[in-house]
């Protein structure tokens, strides 16, 4: 079997909000990449054995004392290096150039004039020798290191990009990894293929083949337990493990009563009946709702749901004999964020639960087959494994489920109302084509009553809020500008079909300052 990670790109993170996007773009080009903090040791860099190195952007200024620097070995290995924004600036400073604060700070769209077409900029110029890019910088390179030549400029930035092709060193002041840069994908592909000489072995079929071989070697004849939620990650893990080890896999699906309409039955049909996977369904609705009674604080609700999940899952696990491994749907961003938080570089906005944290008597060995994959890669894997696209490409659903989409206390009555309202919302979004135009959409139950008119009478009933957002990275988002006719149709259906709802409102808050979820 081909070693599909032999060609590998190392990304050193200087704190940019776009760093993970760089790694994803490299992988989209068919090349394996990993991301590490800029202060990785020289030994680790050498052991990684990269075909090329990318230095990310970052929020710092190279003029600030103690600001991050690239390990000197980066420029001594003889492999190609691409510096992006801050990465370009620190490379320039470290190699003898000069960086200064720009008189004009560039943030947003810009047109670069391409003055010299090197291997990096090959094919990205339009008929006017220009290209649209996304700038986000205050400082700029004022003098290039010896051996570098300028390859593009803007009116306020003489060195929008530069290179020393003899040493295979390249720098860009803009961000090729973001979608706003018109030919950014092509630029990154130029770097990894034309400059670093990497192939295109990193793809879904090869990943599945590699991962199945690894799982068989790790697991052998032993049994594996998986907590199946019906979400993308655990679903893909289930399909992957089933293909690798068949009946050695047992899944436990905890039905907490806080799922979407008919979701429990759909999970059982998809994985149990259609795919032949052994799935144990633990019906724990009453237990969860009982534990949540009287609780209104969002964080308290999350912790209760997480605790109850662990307890129910543990009880089901103890009924099984001979299980050695516990499978989890950990993905690469989880790993990156966990590492960052240990270094004090991340803040916990909300708590999440995972199957990790089981009682000591359940001492399983972990199997994490998605640990080195990004979400978009996981989705592609799921489709390649035969999971229907409509399940794989569903909008995100929080771990605590409807527990955090019911404001205040959680009750079965509220959950049942919300399930139907949310389903009507999704039906109409799909029918209108807007489901795929939005990144996330859902209904929220408001624990307040509003007066309504029904026929000749009046009634006091609940309020439902609708939320739909457009975003690429979920770090920032704007509310979706749904057509008024569509909002009207959704609102009318909800109020006509759910007698306990008398008013529907549409959330027009963007992130920031609001979050995407209400709780």
Which CATH architecture best describes the domain 411-506? 2-Layer Sandwich (3.30)
Residue 234 annotated in ligand binding: yes
Residue 246 annotated in ligand binding: no
Residue 267 annotated in ligand binding: no
Question: How far apart, in whole angstroms, are the C-alpha atoms of residue 295 and residue 308?
Answer: 14
Q: Is 113 exposed, middle or buried (0-12, 13-18, 19+ CB in 10 A)?
A: middle
Q: Where are the chain's structural domains?
A: 8-195, 204-392, 411-506
Q: Which two tokens stand for residue 511?
A: 């992130």
Tell me, yes or no, if 28 is annotated catalytic.
Answer: no
Per DSSP, the three-state class of 212 is: helix
Residue 8 region by backbone torsions, left for phi larger than 0, else alpha for psi between -120 and 50, else beta:
beta
In eight-state DSSP terms, residue 228 is: -
pLDDT for res 437: 96
CATH annotation of 204-392: 3.40.50.620
Contact 18, 55 (CB under 8 A): no
Residue 447 burial (CB count, 10 A): 14
Residue 294 burial (CB count, 10 A): 7
Tell me, yes or no, if 251 is annotated catalytic.
Answer: no
pLDDT for res 100: 87
Residues of the chain with pLDDT under 50: 341-354
Radius of gyration over every alpha carbon of the chain, rounded to an integer in angstroms: 26
Domains 8-195 and 411-506 share a fold: no
Query: How many CA atoms lie within 13 Å of 88's alpha carbon, on the beta-carbon side?
Result: 27
Tell me, yes or no, if 116 is annotated catalytic.
Answer: no
Angle, helix 484-497 to helix 412-432, in steps of 10 degrees: 140
Catalytic residue among 28, 34, 93, 177: 177
Catalytic residue among 175, 196, 308, 519: 175
Which is nearest to 210 in space by CA: 369, 383, 362? 369
pTM for the model: 0.87
> Burial letters for 368-393: b for 16+ Cβ neighbours within 10 Å, e otherwise?
bbbebbbbebbbbbbebbebeeebbe
Per DSSP, the three-state class of 424 is: helix
Residue 103 burial (CB count, 10 A): 7
Which is nearest to 405 in space by CA: 516, 295, 519? 519
Which CATH architecture best describes the domain 8-195? 3-Layer(aba) Sandwich (3.40)
Q: What is the 3-state secondary structure (H, E, C) of 475-493?
A: CCEEECCCCHHHHHHHHHH
Residues 6+ apart with CB under 8 A from 137: 57, 85, 86, 102, 105, 106, 107, 173
Question: How far apart, in whole angstroms, are the C-alpha atoms of residue 306 and residue 229?
Answer: 13
Q: For residue 176, how far is the Cα from the chain centroid? A: 19
Contact 285, 256 (CB under 8 A): yes
Residue 233 annotated in ligand binding: yes
Residue 141 annotated in ligand binding: no
Catalytic residue among 85, 157, 196, 198: 85
């Amino acid at each position: 079997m081909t070693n599909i990670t032999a060609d590998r790109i190392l990304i050193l993170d200087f704190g940019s909000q776009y760093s993970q996007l760089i790694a994803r773009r490299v992988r989209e080009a068919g090349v394996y990449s990993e991301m590490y903090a800029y202060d990785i040791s020289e030994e680790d860099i050498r052991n990684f054995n990269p075909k090329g190195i990318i230095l990310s952007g970052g929020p710092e200024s190279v003029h600030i004392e103690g600001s991050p620097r690239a390990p000197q070995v980066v420029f001594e290995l003889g492999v190609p290096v691409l510096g992006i924004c801050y990465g370009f600036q620190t490379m320039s400073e470290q190699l003898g150039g000069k960086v200064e604060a720009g008189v004009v700070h560039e943030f947003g769209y810009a047109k670069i004039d391409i003055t010299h077409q090197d291997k990096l900029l090959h094919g990205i110029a339009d008929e006017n020798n220009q290209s649209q890019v996304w700038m986000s910088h205050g400082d700029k390179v004022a003098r290039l290191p010896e051996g570098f030549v300028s390859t593009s400029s803007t009116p306020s930035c003489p060195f929008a990009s530069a290179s020393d092709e003899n040493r295979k060193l390249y720098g860009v002041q803009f961000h090729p990894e973001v979608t706003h840069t018109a030919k950014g994908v092509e630029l990154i592909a130029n770097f990894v293929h034309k400059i670093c000489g990497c192939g295109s072995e990193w793809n879904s079929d090869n990943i599945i083949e590699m991962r199945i071989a690894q799982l068989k070697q790790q697991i052998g004849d032993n049994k594996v337990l998986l907590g199946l939620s019906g979400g993308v990650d655990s679903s893909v893990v289930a399909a992957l493990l089933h293909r690798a080890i068949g009946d050695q896999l047992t899944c436990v699906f905890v039905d907490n009563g806080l799922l979407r309409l008919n979701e429990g039955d759909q999970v059982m049909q998809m994985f149990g009946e259609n795919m032949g996977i052994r799935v144990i369904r633990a019906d724990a609705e009453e237990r969860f709702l009982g534990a949540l009674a009287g609780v209104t604080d969002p964080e308290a609700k999350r912790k209760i749901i997480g605790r109850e999940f662990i307890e129910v899952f543990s009880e089901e696990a103890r009924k099984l004999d001979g299980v050695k491994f516990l499978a989890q749907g950990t993905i690469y961003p989880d790993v990156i964020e966990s590492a960052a938080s240990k270094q004090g570089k991340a803040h916990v906005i909300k708590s999440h639960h995972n199957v990790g944290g089981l009682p000591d008597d359940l001492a399983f060995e972990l199997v994490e087959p998605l640990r080195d994959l990004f979400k978009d890669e996981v989705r592609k894997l799921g489709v390649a494994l035969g999971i229907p696209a409509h399940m794989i490409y569903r909008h995100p659903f929080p771990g605590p489920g409807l527990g955090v989409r019911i404001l205040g206390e959680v009750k079965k009555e509220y959950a049942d109302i919300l399930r139907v309202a949310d389903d009507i919302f999704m039906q109409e979004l799909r029918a209108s084509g807007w489901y795929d135009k939005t990144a996330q959409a859902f209904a929220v139950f408001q624990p307040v009553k509003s007066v309504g008119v029904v026929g000749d009478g009046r009634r006091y009933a609940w309020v439902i809020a609708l939320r739909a957002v457009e975003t690429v990275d979920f770090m920032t988002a704007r509310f979706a500008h749904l057509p008024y006719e569509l909002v009207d149709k959704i609102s009318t259906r909800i109020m006509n079909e759910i007698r306990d709802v008398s008013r529907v409102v549409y959330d027009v808050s963007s992130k920031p300052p609001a979050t995407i979820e209400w709780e």
